[in-house]
Each structure stands twice: as C-alpha cells, then as structure tokens.
Amino acid sequence: MIEVVVWICGSLLGLGAIACLVRVAKGPSILDRVLALDVMLLIISAALCLEMALNRHTDYVLFVVAACTIGFIGSVTVSRYVSDQRNA
C-alpha cells in the first residue's frame, strides 16, 4: 500500500518540479525565478523525506533541514535586496 502512496506523491512532486522549471525559464522578474528555485529546493527536500519514509531510515534529515534553512535565508535576502533597490 505504501508503494502506491509513494508513486502518487512522487508523480505529484515531479509535476511540481516541472512547473518550477517552467517558471524559472519564463519568469518575468528575478523574484519569480528565486521563488521558483526555492520551491524546487523544497520539492527536492520533500522527495528525500519520501524516500526516507519508504526505506525507513533517517540518513538525509540533516540535509533536508539545512536545505530548507538555506532556501529560506536566500529567499529573504533576495527579496530584501530587491525591495531596497525599488525604494532607492
């Protein structure tokens, strides 16, 4: 039963990754591209969590936490930089 759930979740994550790649390619602004890359990082982290749940191990937990933290800090940094550029 869990294999079916993993296949469904994996295919939904794959569709989300394709949508993110399209937004990175077509994004009209740098903020759209940064947000799409941040979502892509979260999709990769979710895929690793899915793999850990399927194989019942916790080998990638540190990478998942670090990737989410770095993605958040990067997005906040870029958005603050862009907002400072618009106000100046």
pLDDT of residue 10: 96
In the predicted structure, residue 15 carries a pLDDT above the cut 90: yes
What pTM was estimated for this model as a whole? 0.88
Going from N- to C-terminal start, the domains of the chain cover: 2-87
- 60 neighbors 48 (Cβ within 8 angstroms): yes
Residue with tokens 């958040």: 72
What's the Cα-to-Cα distance from 80 to each of 66, 69, 87, rounded to whole Å? 21, 17, 11
pLDDT of residue 83: 83
pLDDT tens digits, residue range 28-55? 988 889 889 999 999 999 999 999 999 9
